[in-house]
A and B are shown apart, each in its own frame.
Chain A
Amino acid sequence: MCWGQTGIFTFGQAALFGIGGYTVGLITTKTTITNLFIALSFAIVVGALISILIGFFLFSGKRVGELYVALVTLALSYICERLANSWTFLGSGNGIPGIPFPTILGKEINSNIGLFFMVYSFFAFTLIICVILVNSQFGLTMNAVRDDEERAEFFGYRRNKVQILVFTFSAVLASLAGGLFALSEGLVSPSMSGLALSTTTVLWVVLGGRGTFFGPLIALALLQAVNIQLQNILPSLWTILLGIILLLTMLFLPKGLSSIPSLYRQRKSERSAK
């Protein structure tokens, strides 16, 4: 939504993911709240408030470049990781362990299958919302701001309102995901809001294809599988090999893996035209 549809190149998704996770971690361990929806509501509200503040700082003034947004959100991730590592209230380097299983109507979800369906339901629900938004008239507005924000302003669009709204919506999704992660894994740690996860999420989008929903999902699955295989086969070289794979993808498939079918169709029609 942020980068692919609206052109907001953010490294802040991991920070918001961490904020959501830590909020749920604190709520469920410091109070008696274990209700799934209440805990996640806290994560969403905290994530939304923080992202509105950052959004106003980034977008309410004059137009800013992609790089500026990327650097500010990268700094945000760094700050969040350092804060989580050093603040004892947040468990310092150990994070917050012992997060209780979530409950719905007093019933505890404590099985792996139950937790899987809990996460999967939220994933499906948010994916449907995203698909509806992108395919609505608002989807065109997001793309208009992405492709030429000045032109959009001259048509009468309130560019900053659109950017703040999408940035906040993406942050809410990231906070929700962080909250779900905390509840399903039972712990949160500083690394879940850090630079490594920030860059990894951007890599999923680069590899899968910007502006698509299923591209990054395919990239995520593929990267995880390749990661595991390479770690076993080449424990000291796997990160370099992974970097080379990503570089080659960006060079030869600038629109990501999701563009392979259309490229194939294009080549085929070119051949048949000859």
Chain B
Amino acid sequence: MNLLRVEKVSMKFGPLLAVNNASLHLSQGEILGLIGPNGSGKSTLLHTICGRILATEGRIELLGIDITNQKPNLRASLGMGIKFQLARIYLEKTVRENILIALQASLSIWNQIRNRTLKQSADEIMKLASDFQLIDHLDTPARELSHGQRQWLELGMVLATKPKLLLLDEPTAGMSPKERSDTSRLIRSASRQCGVLIVEHDLDFIKELCDRICVIHHGEIVATGRPKEIENDERVKEVYLTRA
């Protein structure tokens, strides 16, 4: 069974067809890249998968369960986690509090009031902060972190929810080459426990990291295959690679 199955999904904004009959699938432990020129519909497709917008046609399944019209919190409870392009973290809260917010998301309100997981969470927070090189900033307000650290914090927060499917919207945007390489390592490590779908502009990053790549153009998926196959695909060269 596929972890994620997107079947003939379309998304219309009035007369504009942003995504047209797009289909893709993703297995456990796989890293799938979704690339395409600006305005090709890749972010729209990602947003229909995560539930930020609802698809006008088609079907989306997570672990065989139809989630096409489910709310984001229900998708999250089924194991979907998303990292947005611009890090959406809680700027006034410390790094520790940010990770705790993510860790306790599935806890009942009653157990939150009773501080049921505060002690157990301490170890997990330390581990995540250590993995994401934030251990020296645990009590620093997120506002004071650098751009790259904010991106890592959000990635760490999403991983704290132990997702089965990790959606990443341009995770290396604005990062230095060193930060990009570290992020690549972190994503590779995360993919051992979940499937990863990455929307990204950086072709080198995608080619190096992904097991398979989907190319989207004018809302349609025009090619899917291994990085080598995609590199040599004439249609892809025509619509995307020559423009990059």
A contact set with B: CB distance below 8 Å: 132-133, 136-138, 140-141, 143-144, 147-148, 150-159, 161-162, 165
Asked whether A137 and B100 contact (CB < 8 A) given A153-B76, A155-B76, the answer is yes
A156 x B90 contact (CB < 8 A) = no
**Complex-state Cα separation, A136 to B76, whole angstroms:** 23
Neighbouring A residues of B97 by C-beta, 8 Å? 140
**Complex-state Cα separation, A36 to B72, whole angstroms:** 45
Q: B139-180: which residues lie under 8 A (CB-CB) from chain A?
A: 157-158, 161
Neighbouring B residues of A152 by C-beta, 8 Å? 101, 105
Asked whether any CB of chain A lies closer than 8 Å to the CB of B113, the reply is: yes
B112 x A136 contact (CB < 8 A) = yes
Binds A, one of B114-122, B213-221, B230-238: B114-122
Asked whether any CB of chain A lies closer than 8 Å to the CB of B226, the reply is: no
Asked whether A156 and B161 contact (CB < 8 A) given A137-B104, A143-B90, A143-B93, the answer is yes
Chain B minimum-CB-distance residue to A62: B71
B73 x A157 contact (CB < 8 A) = yes
In the complex, how many angstroms separate the beta carbon of B72 from the nearest chain A beta carbon?
5
Q: B81-111: which residues lie under 8 A (CB-CB) from chain A?
A: 81-82, 84, 88-93, 97, 100-102, 104-107, 109, 111
A155 x B157 contact (CB < 8 A) = yes
Asked whether any CB of chain A lies closer than 8 Å to the CB of B38, the reply is: no
In the complex, how many angstroms separate the beta carbon of A149 from the nearest chain B beta carbon?
10
**Complex-state Cα separation, A138 to B105, whole angstroms:** 10
**Complex-state Cα separation, A54 to B116, whole angstroms:** 31
B113 x A153 contact (CB < 8 A) = no
Of the four ranges (under 10, 10 to 19, 20 to 34, 35 or more), the interface on chain B belongs to 35 or more
B115 x A136 contact (CB < 8 A) = yes
B101 x A162 contact (CB < 8 A) = no
In the complex, how many angstroms separate the beta carbon of A162 from the nearest chain B beta carbon?
7
Asked whether any CB of chain A lies closer than 8 Å to the CB of B77, the reply is: yes
B114 x A136 contact (CB < 8 A) = yes
B contact set with A: CB distance below 8 Å: 50, 52, 71-73, 76-77, 81-82, 84, 88-93, 97, 100-102, 104-107, 109, 111-118, 157-158, 161
Chain A minimum-CB-distance residue to B109: A138
Neighbouring A residues of B93 by C-beta, 8 Å? 140, 143, 147
**Complex-state Cα separation, A138 to B108, whole angstroms:** 9
**Complex-state Cα separation, A150 to B84, whole angstroms:** 11
Neighbouring B residues of A165 by C-beta, 8 Å? 109
A137 x B107 contact (CB < 8 A) = yes
**Complex-state Cα separation, A140 to B103, whole angstroms:** 11
In the complex, how many angstroms separate the beta carbon of B84 from the nearest chain A beta carbon?
8
A137 x B82 contact (CB < 8 A) = no
A141 x B82 contact (CB < 8 A) = no
**Complex-state Cα separation, A144 to B92, whole angstroms:** 10
B112 x A147 contact (CB < 8 A) = no
**Complex-state Cα separation, A148 to B87, whole angstroms:** 12
A155 x B88 contact (CB < 8 A) = no
In the complex, how many angstroms separate the beta carbon of B167 from the nearest chain A beta carbon?
9
**Complex-state Cα separation, A144 to B100, whole angstroms:** 11
In the complex, how many angstroms separate the beta carbon of A164 from the nearest chain B beta carbon?
11
- Offer 16 A-B interface pairs, CB within 8 angstroms, sorted by A: A137-B104, A137-B111, A138-B113, A140-B104, A143-B92, A147-B93, A150-B88, A151-B90, A153-B76, A154-B50, A155-B101, A155-B161, A156-B77, A156-B106, A159-B73, A165-B109
Neighbouring B residues of A156 by C-beta, 8 Å? 73, 76-77, 105-106, 161
Chain A minimum-CB-distance residue to B104: A137
**Complex-state Cα separation, A229 to B157, whole angstroms:** 53
Neighbouring A residues of B88 by C-beta, 8 Å? 148, 150-151
Given contacts A138-B112, A144-B90, 16 further A-B contacts (CB under 8 A): A133-B113, A137-B111, A137-B113, A137-B115, A137-B118, A140-B100, A143-B90, A143-B92, A143-B93, A147-B90, A147-B91, A148-B88, A148-B90, A151-B89, A152-B101, A165-B109
In the complex, how many angstroms separate the beta carbon of A97 from the nearest chain B beta carbon?
41
Neighbouring A residues of B102 by C-beta, 8 Å? 155
**Complex-state Cα separation, A133 to B106, whole angstroms:** 18
A157 x B112 contact (CB < 8 A) = no
Neighbouring A residues of B116 by C-beta, 8 Å? 137
